[in-house]
Chains A and B, each alone.
Chain A
């Protein structure tokens, strides 16, 4: 039974399709695993045992009836608690949504269900996806399966930890400034931020609308590709959704696994190094660049000077949009309501509810964003940040004229101890230094494991960045690196994680 939880999604789907194992058995094995380890890991906010088993039964029935199964039918998945699930509680990691049961499915949720994916439950996250450690969850932190006293990254720490703890072979995250990639990096798993507009945001509880993007998390590049293809595609319910065919990502991953990167031009962004970058992280990154060279890629160093303004621009744009997006949490229609004793005005009830229901980081960003959008400050803050965004997009465009992909460390350090940066927002924000530019520009990027930092034996992630609508390049290059490293190590990196 251990194998059932250690199998990749591709293997599990094949075994179910071949009748070697039932979807119910697979689901039950994962539910059992969650039961055994999640008290320690705390990856899940809500486990939907009944929903999962019923979805699994439906897949088994379909197979029994001789119907064709999709490529992920029966594969369990951990869903970040920021996507709405009809009839299943959805909190976005916030007290203000405690007890809310959405009356509708997000488009992504719908697509997963249609693909026969078995949703095990909803995963922990920084409140409203604001954070890089999952410590900002109103429901307590998640432990990194490599070292439970350390953070699993954020905001999608629950999803990444679920993968690393073998609680699910697939997970969904959202990436506004790195919330898929950075948790992937620090847990030794794969995370992809798709091109903005290629995965529907309908039903994704918004943090920053122009930056948020749902995407796949997995233990292998191929699994991520399978999941990515299942969730991508145009959605008429999301106006910012791009009406274009889904790229052949699985094919790109299979091609890359062949190990030949001849002709692929790789750029190393020189701004992503230096002060604040852990030595072991840089060591593993530099080795990865050598591996790319060894696989036939040409490597050049190039400069993206505007990237140094990415972090401040992000911390104006994202909070500005958040201050507006989170205004709807007013205790009138759903979620928490505090102080409604018949004597208070609606305004007071709203204020008391927001005071009690939002955590400190969320409040910090609402205040920041409200200020940045204020008349008299708008041009200096929000307006300037949008200009920086344009410059960053131009830096990318210039780079991609010369190279096919860019590479960098995903995050400057390995997983830090829970509590270490909790009182230092600026230190926390630095975790997203390398990931934020792609959110601002809307292009695609992936984090793939590239080893353990020698000084702390914790996972390091390699970030691969591709232009918008060229997500397939991530899978080709990512799968090639993954195959080469697994070959070098003799096994996937995650097998070195301590037993829980």
Chain B
């Protein structure tokens, strides 16, 4: 897609210092829209969740959603921001067919939260502090579907369909200060920041923050400057980068592209860019010079928002444990390394593990199952770990059966497979398939004798004191009992007989 040859990443970083700004929009999970009583439920019939206010009909007026304000304050507090004592909404004026009023009710120079930071942990455990400029409240626009063009973009389309169900859904826009000093790790910092922010949002319970559903969208602003220079270079704004991996790729691509342009003596155009999932490239959108003028002014249809201090302090006191603190606590409790903790995080296994522990399983067992058998399964099926058709309580039950000696590892894996396949809960599977460890000596004795008889040379080695050779006979017995034997007991019986 790119018309220029990218500069190799390391080469780009050898010459330039990247500066990033990340703008994240989070759709709040409120039941109703920001300024009217319409439902925010996703997936409804187009334009069925609209009213005079969110359609921008003449005469209609907005009323602020109090839960929206509360969510914004919570986010601000979680991001270590100051909370405005008094702030206003502002109108951001521009024309676009999917914006019913042709202005967006937003906040301008008086955001509800400002001057914060978020500490993010990088893959090697290093902690990077991202400074937060502001978090402000605004409303989402409607959604345009451009029909008839090749790209799905407005260019070349024969007509467009407008769905205003999304118009007016509450958004919180969170803007970082320029992120400097990350060097070659800038793309990693970007990804880690968005991931951490997502965890914070989820922990607060203010949004599901699903990037795949557009509930969280990220714009990556990036510029390069030669090492040693203070002033920033011209930035590009890559819009709507909608997965963690894409955030990292977009930043990486832009670093290489900017370097290529600068190396050739060119200058970066201040423009928006589209990110392409297929090849990780970006292409030019619209030119965005500083002359773009939204003619902001205070929204006269809304009264100022003045969160009372006592209320803010109540919300602060009621904040849940922040994800990073919680992760550190759990890592300590579970006694695992940074690397192991990182893979738990990457697998999205924290919640399932915790729920499994809550259902009675020991921590190491819970972690073992979710990070082993189940993670492998999730990987293969492409599903989220939490979306697998097995409950933490069921995993805990399997672990309990193993601890009680009723199942061995191999059988336990079979049970898990069967539960995932929809054969029912662990106890049903055990009963239905007749899976249970055989540790009854009389039943095992015959199998052991057969194995010894069938493998005289192995038996001879064991008699000669080569105890390690017993493994082969144990294997034979396990095979004969279709895995249902208690392997430890089998070994004991073999050694008894060949002593």
Also in contact, A375 and B61, with CB within 8 A (given A324-B91, A328-B102, A333-B100): no
Among B292-300, B335-343, B482-490, the one that faces the other chain is B292-300
Also in contact, A239 and B303, with CB within 8 A (given A104-B57, A327-B102): yes
Interface residue? B345 (CB, 8 A): no
- B61 and A330 contact, CB distance less than 8 A: no
Contact partners of B60 in chain A: CB under 8 A: 104, 202-203
- B295 and A370 contact, CB distance less than 8 A: yes
- A240 and B303 contact, CB distance less than 8 A: yes
A201 to B301, CA, bound (A): 9
Contact partners of A327 in chain B: CB under 8 A: 93, 95, 101-103
- A239 and B59 contact, CB distance less than 8 A: no
Interface residue? B394 (CB, 8 A): no
Proximity bits, A207-246, B CB within 8 Å = 1, else 0: 0111000000000000000000000000011111000000
Q: Which residue of A lies closest to B144 (CB)?
A: A346
Q: How far is the CB of A485 from chain B (nearest CB, A)?
A: 37
Interface residue? B280 (CB, 8 A): no
For chain B residues 169-184, which have a beta carbon within 8 Å of chain A? none
Query: Which residue in B62, B102, B296 is a CB contact (below 8 Å) of A330?
Result: B102
Q: How far is the CB of A429 from chain B (nearest CB, A)?
A: 21
Q: Which residue of B lies closest to A327 (CB)?
A: B102
- B59 and A102 contact, CB distance less than 8 A: yes
Interface residue? A373 (CB, 8 A): yes
Q: How far is the CB of B141 from chain A (nearest CB, A)?
A: 13
Interface residue? A170 (CB, 8 A): no
- B59 and A205 contact, CB distance less than 8 A: yes
Q: Which residue of A lies closest to B35 (CB)?
A: A239
- A320 and B162 contact, CB distance less than 8 A: no
Query: Which residue in A106, A240, A333, A375 is a CB contact (below 8 Å) of B59?
Result: A106
- B93 and A103 contact, CB distance less than 8 A: no
Query: Which residue in A102, A201, A350 is a CB contact (below 8 Å) of B61?
Result: A201
- A332 and B97 contact, CB distance less than 8 A: yes
Q: How far is the CB of A26 from chain B (nearest CB, A)?
A: 29
For chain B residues 296-315, which have a beta carbon within 8 Å of chain A? 296-297, 300-303
Also in contact, A239 and B63, with CB within 8 A (given A92-B58, A104-B57, A333-B100): yes
- A97 and B95 contact, CB distance less than 8 A: no
- A104 and B300 contact, CB distance less than 8 A: no
- B95 and A238 contact, CB distance less than 8 A: no
Q: How far is the CB of A467 from chain B (nearest CB, A)?
A: 20
Contact partners of B97 in chain A: CB under 8 A: 330, 332, 346
Interface residue? A374 (CB, 8 A): yes
A13 to B162, CA, bound (A): 49
Q: How far is the CB of B302 from chain A (nearest CB, A)?
A: 5
Interface residue? A334 (CB, 8 A): yes
Contact partners of B293 in chain A: CB under 8 A: 374-375
Interface residue? A168 (CB, 8 A): no
Contact partners of B55 in chain A: CB under 8 A: 333
Query: Which residue in B100, B101, B102, B300 is a CB contact (below 8 Å) of A321?
Result: B300
Interface residue? A83 (CB, 8 A): yes
Also in contact, A239 and B297, with CB within 8 A (given A102-B58, A334-B57, A346-B97): no
A178 to B302, CA, bound (A): 23
- B59 and A83 contact, CB distance less than 8 A: yes
- B93 and A324 contact, CB distance less than 8 A: yes
Interface residue? A90 (CB, 8 A): yes
Q: Which of A83, A106, A373 has the most CB of B within 10 A?
A: A373
Query: Which residue in B58, B63, B64, B297 is a CB contact (below 8 Å) of A373?
Result: B297
Q: Which residue of B lies closest to A240 (CB)?
A: B303
- A239 and B64 contact, CB distance less than 8 A: yes
Query: Which residue in B95, B100, B301, B302 is a CB contact (below 8 Å) of A350?
Result: B95
Interface residue? A382 (CB, 8 A): yes
For chain B residues 89-147, which have a beta carbon within 8 Å of chain A? 91, 93, 95, 97, 100-103
Proximity bits, A322-363, B CB within 8 Å = 1, else 0: 011001111011100000000000110010000000000000
Also in contact, A236 and B59, with CB within 8 A (given A320-B297, A327-B102): no
A238 to B36, CA, bound (A): 11
For chain A residues 236-259, which have a beta carbon within 8 Å of chain B? 236-240
Q: Which residue of B lies closest to A209 (CB)?
A: B300
Interface residue? A400 (CB, 8 A): no
Proximity bits, A363-386, B CB within 8 Å = 1, else 0: 000000010011100100010000
Contact partners of A102 in chain B: CB under 8 A: 57-59
Q: Which of A237, A238, A370 has the most CB of B within 10 A?
A: A237
Q: How far is the CB of A326 from chain B (nearest CB, A)?
A: 9
Interface residue? B391 (CB, 8 A): no
- B295 and A240 contact, CB distance less than 8 A: no
Proximity bits, A32-62, B CB within 8 Å = 1, else 0: 0000000000000000000000000000000
A83 to B93, CA, bound (A): 24
- B295 and A324 contact, CB distance less than 8 A: yes
Interface residue? A179 (CB, 8 A): no
- A97 and B303 contact, CB distance less than 8 A: no
Interface residue? A206 (CB, 8 A): yes
CB-based closest 4 A-B pairs: A327-B102, A373-B295, A209-B300, A210-B300
A sample of 17 cross-chain residue pairs with beta-carbon separation below 8 angstroms, ordered by A number, consists of A84-B59, A100-B58, A102-B57, A103-B57, A104-B52, A201-B61, A238-B63, A239-B302, A240-B303, A327-B93, A330-B97, A332-B162, A333-B57, A346-B160, A347-B95, A373-B297, A375-B293
15 extra A-B contacts, CB within 8 A, seeds A210-B300, A328-B102: A100-B58, A103-B57, A104-B52, A104-B57, A104-B60, A209-B300, A239-B63, A321-B297, A324-B297, A328-B58, A330-B97, A333-B100, A346-B160, A347-B95, A373-B297
Interface residues of B (CB under 8 A from A): 52, 55-64, 91, 93, 95, 97, 100-103, 160, 162, 293, 295-297, 300-303
